Amino acid sequence: MDILSYRGPGVAGGVSSGLASAWHQNASSSSRWWYVKNRTLEVLAAQDADSRLVALIPETVKQGHYAFCNEFLWPLMHDLPQHISFSQENYEHYKAFNRLLSEYLYLHSRNRNEFFVQDYQMSLLPQWLNIYGHKSVIFWHIPWPKQVADEHKGIINEIVRGLLGAAAIGFHTQEYATNFQNYINDNLSDYQLDSNSFTVEPIPEEARDSGKRRLNRRERGASRLLSGRSHKCKIVVHPLGIEIDYWHKLAEDSLSSPQTNELRSLANKTFILSVDRCDYTKSVKERFLIIDRFFEVHPEWLGSVSFAQVCGRSRPGLEQFDAYWQACRALAGAVNNRWRQDNWQPISWIEGGLNSLELAYLYRHAQAMIVNPVRDGLNLTAKEFVACQDGQPGVLLLSQGAGVHAELGHLALPADPEKQEQTVQSIARALCMPLKERQIRTLRMKSTLANNQLSDWWETFSSLTEIPEIHLVAASNSSFNPAKFS
């Protein structure tokens, strides 16, 4: 199976890194990775070190696609409509981008039959790949919203129809899959959902309920395109896993690596860690307000505990994200100015650029980690933190808005960004939690992660174009030896 993604191997980020690891470990010699780099579509063969240019993408199309993804789809899918900015021109560029990629693939990959399509930037591709005779599965790494405003449903209907061209659609959590199924039931009258097999397929035109809303011309056209190659699309729930042994060994290696020398002054003190992009979905501003409140309620920790914020810029050049970055920087500065003492300040901001070894070093030494997005697809950093713990483990604080909460939330302390007092209490509890309780929580979280590792996730989706029927996927069972992590 070939991979088709917006970002290629080697790009920083949990999802991209995880996909690259899965591909390098499991790809056959004939596998290809097709991805966008700047204004080009490139392809990398499994056995090659360098990619080759496939085609150029017009600059206006690339920029319009980028804006539509981040100014419209991103906030809508995270249930944050107050941040939505819609441009019809950008949407046309989004559609053109997906159509162009499908045409390039048709011209350059006629002997490539199966594709793993990655995420929301390419939601329309499965439909076009299906029309051109290719099979695909797509994984939707971000949430699917609980609600979509009526004014946006026409666009989302087109996106759903694009997704339904795939043999399967993957989601991290049952909630996201349920939201997606509910959307189809409520808004696509020409599709039917089988709740037993978790499949969706077009309803034959002659069998449709005449009492339902009639499709408009654009919807009828999209329906005919898909029904020409009618098939069932499976809805699969399987959260992305990580390689536990890899991260645990990385944490061990980081202890003696010269690459971590600059972090040792931080690690020698008590600190609480967060690792994010500076994005309004991550609740960075809310976290800084919680830190400020923490020192108001618990002045006894002044000078003895700090908060390390690894946080790089997100989507520079887009006004909302630039403004959020500036607001977060200003707020961090204000909190530091309020509580600063001698050579100590409450927030240590690290602007990113850390490699996996350096992150593993911080994970291993943190007294606690706060992962408190208002809404997030999964948040792999929480899993990485757990995997890096040893016999003196730190404590995970997690909001319900993180997708990973479905797996680890019952073993973490609550950290809702909208509940300051609750999160302040969780921070204080994490700093004083007995060693035995920390060990029990960590071992149980590691057991959960061991039952769904990266290889399990990849095996599920790499086989979906080959098997005739599949049911809702639960994390697979695998062996786990707690002694390895003690």
DSSP string, 75-119: HHHTT-GGG----HHHHHHHHHHHHHHHHHHHHH-TT--EEEEES
- Ramachandran region, residue 303 (left: φ > 0; alpha: ψ -120 to 50; beta: rest): left
Residue 45 pLDDT: 87
Residue 218 pLDDT: 57
Task: Go through the domains of the chain in sequence order and give each one's CATH number.
Answer: 2-240+455-462 (3.40.50.2000), 244-451 (3.40.50.2000)
Q: Phi and psi at residue 472, in whole multiples of 5°?
A: -50, 130
Q: Which residues contact 231 (CB under 8 A, 6 or more apart)?
A: 130, 167, 201
Residue 473 pLDDT: 37
Residue 448 pLDDT: 97
Residue 49 pLDDT: 79
Residue 396 pLDDT: 98
Q: Which of 252, 267, 240, 270 is nearest to 176 (CA)?
A: 240
Q: Phi and psi at residue 57, in whole multiples of 5°?
A: -110, 125
Residue 389, number of CB atoms within 10 A of its CB? 26
Element at 265 (helix H, strand E): helix 264-267
Q: What is the mean pLDDT of each run of 10 residues along the chain (486 residues)?
A: 87 70 78 91 86 94 97 98 97 97 88 87 95 92 97 98 96 97 95 90 72 54 51 93 95 96 94 96 98 98 97 93 97 98 95 90 98 96 97 97 97 97 98 98 98 92 59 35 34
Q: What residue type is 321 in one-letter code?
A: F
Residue 462 pLDDT: 84
Positive or negative: CA dihedral 16, 17, 19, 23: positive
Residue 362 pLDDT: 97
Q: Phi and psi at residue 261, in whole multiples of 5°?
A: -55, -40
Residue 472 pLDDT: 35
Residue 99 pLDDT: 96
Q: Which of 133, 131, 97 is nearest to 112 (CA)?
A: 133
Q: Phi and psi at residue 88, in whole multiples of 5°?
A: -60, -35
CB 461 within 8 A of CB 171: no
